[in-house]
Amino acid sequence: MSFAILPVLEPKEGQAQVLADLIKNITSGASINETGCKTYYFFIPETASSISSTPTIHGIEVYTSQDALTGEHLQSPQFGELGKWLQAGNCANSPDLGGYNVEFGFIDRTPPKESDFVFVATLICKPGQRAAVLDKWRTCAPWVWENEPDTYSYLFMTSMEDENKIVIFERYKNKEALTETHYGGPKFQEVQPFMKENVAEKKTENFKWAGFGFISKDKLQ
């Protein structure tokens, strides 16, 4: 099972572009030298006007295993430069490196595009219901792959720290591919009554591609 993290970084004033440049440098090294790093993709809030003014930079990183993160990625010289930046107090938060298991779905229908619309849904299931909720979504993902070509990524992950938490990373050609095509699709509609009964909380966030990172080196399902 693949391992993922979803870092969120809050650069202090004047540091967003510096952070972006550091991540670009890490991306270059990860794409060439890190066989265990499969996805290294970054995105910013939909409302951010530019990288230099964004309040946060978000990422999805997928590895073949947790060891590929701790033993290969975090030890790279490129990441070391980011570590120095963090230690210098340039980030307003401490990035959360809480892990996720990649359960099912797809991430790499297309390479990153400037027009990518990114949507992240966080579900907190009612106690004991996470497996059942996943099983319902598991029937939906293959249908989306076959019938929604403008859905570029549709990846389901479970938190390793919270037994009730599911995060869905979604990437679309545009917002309409989510709000009209996906939401209006029969499979999405089919699972909604079950979700209302078994999901206690739901949080959704809209983003766009930050302009750097890779979505996948090879097919991830």
Whether residues 72 and 107 share a domain: the answer is no
* Predicted local confidence at residue 216, as pLDDT: 86
Domain span holding position 8: 3-98
DSSP 8-state assignment for residue 73? I
Residue 48, CB-side half-sphere exposure with 13 Å CA sphere? 21
pTM for the full predicted model = 0.95
Contacts of 197-202 with CB under 8 Å at 24 or more apart are: 198/125, 198/126, 198/129, 198/132, 198/133, 199/123, 199/124, 199/125, 199/126, 199/129, 199/133, 200/124, 200/125, 200/126, 200/164, 201/122, 201/123, 201/124, 202/121, 202/122, 202/123, 202/124
Per-residue pLDDT of the chain (221 residues), as tens digits, is 899 999 999 999 999 999 999 999 999 999 999 999 999 999 999 999 999 999 999 999 999 999 999 999 999 999 999 999 999 999 999 888 789 999 999 999 889 999 999 999 999 999 999 999 999 999 999 999 999 999 999 999 999 999 999 999 999 999 999 999 999 999 999 999 999 999 999 999 999 999 999 998 654 33
Whether residues 111 and 202 share a domain: the answer is yes
Domain boundary among 73, 98, 123: 98
Number of domains in the chain: 2
Whether residues 153 and 78 share a domain: the answer is no
Whether residues 26 and 79 share a domain: the answer is yes
Whether residues 156 and 191 share a domain: the answer is yes
Whether residues 66 and 152 share a domain: the answer is no
Say how far apart CA 71 and CA 34 lie, in whole Å: 10
Whether residues 84 and 135 share a domain: the answer is no
Whether residues 68 and 147 share a domain: the answer is no
Instruction: Look at residue 220 and tell me if it is in a domain.
Output: no
Whether residues 129 and 197 share a domain: the answer is yes
